[in-house]
Amino acid sequence: MIVCVCHRISDRDITHVARRCESFDELQFTLNVATRCGTCLDCARETFEAARCGAHAGKVAAPLE
Summarize as ranges the residues that interact with ligand FES (CB under 6 A): 4-7, 34-40
DSSP 8-state symbol, 39 = T
Find the shortest distance in angstroms from Cβ 28 to ligand FES: 10
CB of 45 to ligand FES, least distance (A): 11
Cβ distance to ligand FES smaller for residue 42 or 56 = 42
Residue 12: helix, strand or coil by DSSP? helix
What's the Cα-to-Cα distance from 1 to each of 4, 14, 28, 42, 61, rounded to whole Å? 9, 11, 18, 15, 28
Nearer to ligand FES, 4 or 52 (CB): 4
